[in-house]
Structure 1
Amino acid sequence: MISGQSVFFLSILIFVAAFSGSLLRADAEIIDPTRVTQLSWNPRAFLYKGFLSDEECEHLKVLAKDKLEKSMVADNDSGKSVMSEVRTSSGMFLEKHQDEIVGRIEARIAAWTFLPEENGESIQILHYENGEKYEPHYDYFHDKNNQALGGHRIATVLMYLSNIKKGGETVFPDSNDKLAQPKDDSWSDCAKKGYAVKPEKGDALLFFSLHPDATTDSKSLHGSCPVIEGEKWSATKWIHVRSFDGPQNIEGGDCIDENELCPKWAAVGECSRNPLYMVGSNSSRGFCRMSCSACLVSE
């Protein structure tokens, strides 16, 4: 029997082969390996030039503009979403396959990464104004509660939806290649502290939070440098080891909590602040439906 780690390693081998042009998924006109550059092996990071069209970028921004809220971070101990000065952007989550364009982008991400669509979270749209940033952090989890839902995040696809005059770079402070990257005065001081990527509208950055043996990669530490001139829009897709959509058929009905912390989260307002996770949508079921009173308990 093939182990879970072996399957993971095999998927990475297939993924790497795609960049040599030896393998492509369907829709070859959409996935173009010649636009992909390997940026780093420690961490493993790749840049796809022109992954999104200008029209797709603008469409995602329009979907988000009137729904932005203060961004949250996951508490390392409880896994609960909390506010923090570590992250000062505003953001919102789209629904999976919210419309035809969103669905097409999600399918393109799955084709590029060779990771199943059901393993991905909903796309998060983020907006950074002058001075706003996200301090260096890991996308894999430190708490067991978040790991129980889909396992660790394998990979992150970060799509840039706008150009920015200065600042706003994605930086990897612990990258082995940080000293080899030349930087002039067009880079922010923050970007000079690691290997950095300038946000350019339509480009997509893919990096892995786990090694091929499924252990966490400490080199994947990354952050969003403060915006100095302009404003930054981005869209993030986090992809997990297992399905993130949740169980579809559970004996005893739908009115259950999938996490023991659901009552506490509901009590502090997470049902309204984080409805996709707590309550769910048409495409995926929430994990705290009972605590959010999103269903009727069977008598």
Structure 2
Amino acid sequence: MDRSRYILALLTFVTIGMIIGSLFQLAFINRLEEPSGILHWENDNEATTLRLGYECDTLKAIARPRLQVSTVVDTKTGKGFKSEVRTSSGMFLNNDERKFPIVQAIEKRISVFSQIPPENGELIQVLRYEPSQYYRPHHDYFADTFNLKRGGQRIATMLMYLSDNVEGGETFFPMAGNGECSCGGKMVKGLCVKPTKGDAVLFWSMGLNGESDPKSIHGGCAVLKGEKWSATKWMRQKTTF
């Protein structure tokens, strides 16, 4: 028992230290911006990579102590349950963590890129996939009425990659494109996006006609080597808070 408490205390200390360190680094980088909004580092690839790296590492540090086995949504009840369809571990940032400057910076950039107001977004989910873990092809839009009560249907997803040096672990879109790609070491038809730290993928679950798009089906290919860390931001039709 004493050893467990010691390990928990150590993990908490390390996590807090990483978060504080990242906040100081972000503050330093933000000094490169003038009040007018002009970015002195916008054409500096090294500065951009540095900023994205700290954001990725901060999300991982926040998430690591609270990771739990991932669940999928029951289409009848709208509640989550464990399934072999999804074998990763993950957690959701809470409302207090959403107020962290570094998280707000991430959400602002997502809003600008997607043209969807920040208040229409769900809390960011952070996921970890270890070797042999995967997520079978699925849709992000809801098939139940329970989850539609708060914010309406999911219309778009921003998927952010937080780690490098991963073999496999691609994001697979079986109905996108006409070519073939490698998904967890196997050749499949469709489009595969390799997880690279600092990269992100925006895709839409709803068309301009207001109907859910079945072609938005996607999956997480099995990780062959390393750890794949990602963060997901789902955006709704209406405000979620």
TM-score grouping bracket, smaller chain normalisation: 0.7 to 0.9
Q: Does the 8 Å CA contact 1:52/1:202 hold for their aligned counterparts?
A: no
1:106 is paired with a residue whose SS is helix
- Paired residue for 2:114? 113
**Counterpart Cα distance in 1 of 2:76 and 2:160:** 29
> What is the SS of the residue equivalent to 2:64?
helix
Q: Please give the TM-score of this superposition, normalised by the length of structure 1.
A: 0.62
Structure 1 residue runs of 5 or longer lacking an equivalent are 1-25, 36-48, 246-299
Instruction: Give the secondary structure class of the aligned counterpart of 2:152.
Output: coil
Higher relative strand content: 2
CA distance in 2, matches of 1:213, 1:187: 31
Q: Which runs of 5+ in 2 are unaligned?
A: 1-35
Q: Percent identity?
A: 46
Equivalent pair of 1:72/1:82 in contact (CA under 8 Å): yes
1:192 aligns with 2:188: yes
Assess if the C-alpha contact under 8 Å between 2:172 and 2:192 holds in 1: yes
Taking the aligned partners of 1:240 and 1:202, their CA distance within structure 2 comes to 24
Query: Taking structure 2 as the reference length, what is the TM-score of the superposition?
Result: 0.76
Does the CA-based 8 Å contact 1:173-1:193 persist in structure 2? yes
Instruction: Map 1:92-107 onto structure 2 (within 5 A).
Output: 92-96=91-95, 97-107=98-108
Q: Number of aligned pairs?
A: 199
Distance 2:171 2:164 in 1: 13
Post-superposition shift, 1:57?
0.7
Corresponding position of 2:80: 81
RMSD between superposed Cα atoms in Å: 2.4
Deviations 1:226-251 (A, max 9, x none): 10011100000000001111xxxxxx
**Superposition misfits of 4+ residues, deviation over 6 angstroms:** 49-52
Q: Tell me, yes or no, if structure 1 residue 129 matches structure 2 residue 130.
A: yes
Aligned to 2:11: none
Offset at residue 201 of structure 1 (A):
0.2
Tell me, in whole angstroms, the C-alpha distance in 2 between the residues paired with 1:242 and 1:94: 20
The answer for the alignment partner of 1:267 in structure 2 is none
Q: Larger % of helix: which?
A: 2
Distance 1:204 1:136 in 2: 19
- Structure 2 counterpart of 1:225, from 207, 212, 221: 221
Displacement, 1:109?
0.8
